[in-house]
Structure 1
Amino acid sequence: MSAELVIATPLLLLMLLTIVQFALWSHATHIAQAAASQGLSAARAQNGTATAGTAGAKQVLDELAHGPLSDPSVDSVRSAESAAVRISGTATSVVPFLTLPVHAEAAGPVERFVPDLRKALP
């Protein structure tokens, strides 16, 4: 009976820690996606820039990512027609020797003024 307990208890604890690890990874992924979405909103605004997208994403990461997301990096790109924000990092490790990568991306067209040509025609 005690030999079975000696084997079963560490395995049970490892299973429990693995469940917690994947829940933490999922939470870190959601935080990274929220930061990417916020950065995209700033970058794709009519007079927005890639720098504004990076700043918007970093603000969300500063507020939310201190626990579940380690070493986040932000990359923002904006062209005349589209903008994209990419977040990468690693989930905080609970299980020893297990590092799970976290990636999130948000992309979309930039906002721009397009005149209504129907009103200009006689």
Structure 2
Amino acid sequence: MSARIRWCGSRNWTRRGDRGSAEPLFILPVVFVMVLGVVQVGVWAHAQHRVQAVASQTLASARALNGSTALAYQRAEQAQEQLGGAMLQRVEVDVTREPEQARVLVRAQAVSVVPGATLPVSMRVSGPIEHLAP
């Protein structure tokens, strides 16, 4: 690395090649945190879609003509296994089946890319119970 030394007066010597050399030390960590933040938002959005898929499949089983809450919980487990991966943590499924309506609430946490970030995801769906019309 060659730097030109220039005479600037009585006893002032300056190096022109060293200007701005400390800037990457401050910029790179900020850029790295910003990239991790964007990745974390993508992971959160993907986890939200997975929770939505589990909830809709569970609701379909709960509101079926011969459905039950036990069958809905089994379907929720199957849906989580089919989706695979460790995208969702601490998954909780709550199924309520009444004579006219079924409700499903799925709560979980998205995997954290940024240390210390906890991003909850949830989906609440409901629909009428299927009945045979005379």
Return the structure number with greater helix share: 1
Q: Tell me whether 1:28 sits opposite 2:47 in the alignment.
A: yes
Deviation track 1:67-104 (CA, whole Å, cap 9, x = no partner) reads 21111111111000000111101000000111100101
Give the corresponding residue for 1:10.
29
Q: Tell me whether 1:111 sits opposite 2:113 in the alignment.
A: no
Give the corresponding residue for 1:72.
91
1:54 pairs with 70, 73, 92, which one? 73
Q: Structure 2: give runs of 5+ residues left out of the alignment.
A: 1-19
Aligned AA for 1:25? W
Measure the CA separation in 2 of the matches of 1:2 and 1:35. Answer: 52
Identity of aligned residues (%): 40
Deviation at 1:65? 4.8
Q: Which structure carries more relative contact order (alpha carbon 8 Å, separation 6+)?
A: 1
> How many residue pairs end up in the alignment?
115
Measure the CA separation in 2 of the matches of 1:96 and 1:30. Answer: 22
Measure the CA separation in 2 of the matches of 1:2 and 1:72. Answer: 48
Which aligned runs of 4 or more in structure 1 are off by greater than 3 angstroms?
none
